[in-house]
Amino acid sequence: MPPGDIAPVFLTTALALIAGVTFILRGPVGKALARRLEGHQPPEDRSSEIAGRLAQVDELSHRVAELEERLDFAERLLARSREPNQLP
């Protein structure tokens, strides 16, 4: 190939680029781009819902901690009442 003949290199590079872009655009990236061009909006921000769920989890963990304390207290009372020295 003479040094000034760049046509085969250009043609091969162009075909490889076209094939690569076609492959990428036919996948999930192309589908997302098509949805965006059609006017579909991305999913809405759900941070407020997540914050509400976290608040519920905090409240429930607090309630579980209180229940654990009550259970421990009841177990201690039950263990004391079973000692042989005490009258029922």
Q: What is the pTM of this model?
A: 0.43
Between residues 57 and 38, the one the model is more confident about: 57
Torsion of CA 45, 51, 56, 61, to 10 degrees: 130
* Confidence class for position 56, pLDDT limits 50, 70, 90: very high
pLDDT for residue 88 is more than 60: no
Query: How large is the average pLDDT for residues 65-84?
Result: 87
The average confidence (pLDDT) of the chain is 85
Give residue-wise pLDDT tens across range 12-50.
Answer: 899 999 999 998 889 898 888 888 888 877 667 788 889
Q: Both tokens of residue 55?
A: 């608040």
CA pair distance 56, 64, nearest whole angstrom: 12
